[in-house]
Chain A
Amino acid sequence: MTNHTEVLDALSDVRDPELDEPITDLGFVSELEIEGDGVFVRLRLPTYFCAPNFAYLMVADAREAVLSVPGVRRAWVVLDDHYASDEINGGVNEEKGFDGAFPHETESPDLEELRTIFRRKSFVARQEKLCRALLAQGRSPEQLAETRLREVPPSETFEKYLERRGELGLDISPEASLLVDPDGKRVPGDAIVQHLRFARTVGVSIEGNAELCRGLLATRYGRGEKEGVKL
C-alpha cells in the first residue's frame, strides 16, 4: 500500500511557479489522506484572492504528482478558502483544464506560457545564486564567462540550476557554457557583471515574495499550531 512519505515526496516536487519553492515547504499542503489506491490532498493559500492561474497550476500539478506514485489510481486535490475554489477544484479533478474551469474568462489557450515566464525567472535566479557561490570561492567574473558546465564543482545549487536549465530545453552537456541567458545565448565577458546584477534583483524579488506569502499564510492560519503537512 502507498504510504504517506511516498506521496509527500511526490508533492515536494510541486513548486509554486512564482516562488520557486516546494508547496510542502511553503505550508500549502494542509491535509493528506490515503485509502487503498485513492489519495485525498487538501491545499490552502495565503489569501482568498491569490491569483487563480497560479493556484490552478499548483492544484493540477499536485494531482499529477500524486497520480505518478506507484499504486495510486485515484486522486482528489482540493483547494480550500479561495474565491475560485469551486471552479479550480472542478476543473482539475474533472480534467476540464483551466479554460474549461473558467469558461469565457481566459484568453490564452493554456497556462504553459505563464509557467514558462516564471521558469525563466527562476532559471535566472538559480544561475545567480550559483555564480555568487562560485565568486565567493575565488573565481573572477571573467573566469565565469569562460567556465563550462563540466568545470563546475558538484553542489545542490548547481543541481537545481541544471534541472531548471534542462526544463527550459537549454544545453546541459558538459561542454556547454555556464553563463547563458534564458534563450540559451552565451553571456559575453564584458556583460557578466551587469547580467549578474540584474539576476540578483530577480532573485531578491522571488525570495521576498516567498517571505511575504509565508507571512500571510501565518496570519491566516495561525502560527505554529496548524503547521502544514511535512515530510
Chain B
Amino acid sequence: MYEKDGEKYFVVDGHVHYWDASPENWIEGQEQYAKGWIECFYGYHQLGPEEYYWPMEKYQKYSEETMMKDLFEDGYVDVAIFLPTYLKAWYREGFNTTEQDAVLAEKYPDKFILNSRFDPRDGEEGLEELERKHRRYGFKGVKLYTAEWHNGSKGWSLKDPEASRYLEKCEELGIINIHVHKGPTIWPLNKDAFDPKDVDDAATSFPNLNFIVEHVGLPRIEDFCFMATQEPNVYAGLSVVLGALMHSRPRFFSKVMGELLFWVGEDKMIWASDYAIWHPRWQVEMFVDWDYPQGHEFDDFPRLSTEGKKKILGLNAARLYDIEVPPALRLPEAETDAQSVEPTVS
C-alpha cells in the first residue's frame, strides 16, 4: 500500500521475475546468449534512477530476502504477479520458470500470484503438461512468447488452430488471463513479434478470456493501440513503459501515456515493475506524482485523476485476478458505477 497526500493506493505489481542468470546456470556452448541476455536486461535496468542500480553480480542472481524486502517492505507492493520466462536453451534450470517462482509463491501465498506458460508447438504433450501443472499449482494466467524459436519454427501466432486448442483448454481450466509478450524483440528474424493482430483475432474468438499485452507492443505501440481500442477484453500491460521511460525520457513517457489513455483508457491499463529489471518503489512514487509536463503538445490528451492512478496501480489487476482489496482502499461505489456510463465526447 502506498499513501500520499491522504490518498491510499492498493498496489498490485503485474509482472515480476525471480530469475537465475548466474554463470553456474549457463548452458555450455550457449554462454554468449545467456550472458548477452542478462546484459541486455542490465541495459534496461540502467534506464531507471541511479540510486537503484545493482552490481552485475547481484543482478544475475538475487536472494529471496532481497526480493521480499524490495517488493513488500520498500516497494509498496501488496500483491505481485509472477510471469515466467523459460529460456531453457541457454539456462540449465531455465531463466525464471513456474517451478522457480513456485518456491516463493507457495511460501508466501498471500503475497504472490503464480502463473505458467504454454507453447502450442508442444502439441498434445504440451496440453497435458498444462493441465498437469494447473492441477499442481492452480494458476489463473499464462505468459506467452509468440516470437520464440522452437525446433526449427520461427515463432507462432495466436491465430494458429493449435493455439486455439490451448486457449480452449485455458478457458476450460479457468486460466482466464492470457499475458502475451508483444514488446522488445527477443529473437525474431522475418517472422517478427511486432504485429499484435493475432491478439485481435484471439480476443474476438475468446471473449471470456482477458488478453494482457505486455509492454503494449513497445516499441510499436500504435499497432497495439489501434487494436486494443476495438477489443473490450484486451488490456495494456505497462511493464517497461514506466520503467524504461518515466525516469529517463519523461516527456516521451507522457506522450505514450497520453496515447494509451486516449486509445485504451484507464480501466484497461495495468502497471507492472518488471522486477528485478526495475525496483517498484520509485515507479510507484513517481507515477503517483506524475502529470503532463508544460507544453501545448500535451493539451488534448485525456487527464488522469487520482482514481485513475489507483486503477492502474492495482485495482484493475485485482479485478482480473480476483484479489480481495481491503474496503478502505477501494474506490467509492459511485465511482465504480460511473465507469459504465459512456463518456461524453466534447
Contacts and interface: CB of A to CB of B under 8 A. Distances in A.
A18 B194 CA distance: 11
B43 A46 contact: yes
Interface string A58-92: 00000000000000000000000001000000000
Interface in A179-231: 198, 201-202, 204-205, 207-209, 211-213, 215-216, 219-220
10 A-B pairs closest in CB distance: A209-B219, A48-B36, A219-B46, A205-B222, A201-B222, A211-B249, A208-B252, A47-B40, A51-B185, A202-B222
25 contacts: A48-B37, A48-B39, A48-B40, A49-B187, A52-B189, A53-B188, A83-B32, A83-B33, A105-B189, A107-B190, A111-B190, A201-B226, A204-B222, A204-B258, A205-B222, A207-B252, A208-B245, A208-B249, A208-B252, A211-B245, A211-B249, A212-B218, A213-B219, A216-B43, A219-B46
Contacts, number: 99
A201 B36 CA distance: 32
Q: How large is the interface on A (under 10, 10 to 19, 20 to 34, 35 or more residues)?
A: 20 to 34
A106 interface: yes
Nearest to B36: A48
A202 B258 CA distance: 13
B121 to A, nearest CB: 16
A20 to B, nearest CB: 12
Interface in A75-120: 83, 102, 104-108, 111, 114
Nearest to A82: B36
B92 interface: no
B221 A205 contact: yes
A78 to B, nearest CB: 17
B47 interface: yes
A200 to B, nearest CB: 8
Interface in B237-251: 244-245, 248-249
B186 interface: yes
B249 A105 contact: no
Contacts of B33: 83
A216 B263 contact: no
A114 B40 contact: no
Nearest to B219: A209
Given A215-B248, A219-B46, A201 B221 contact: yes
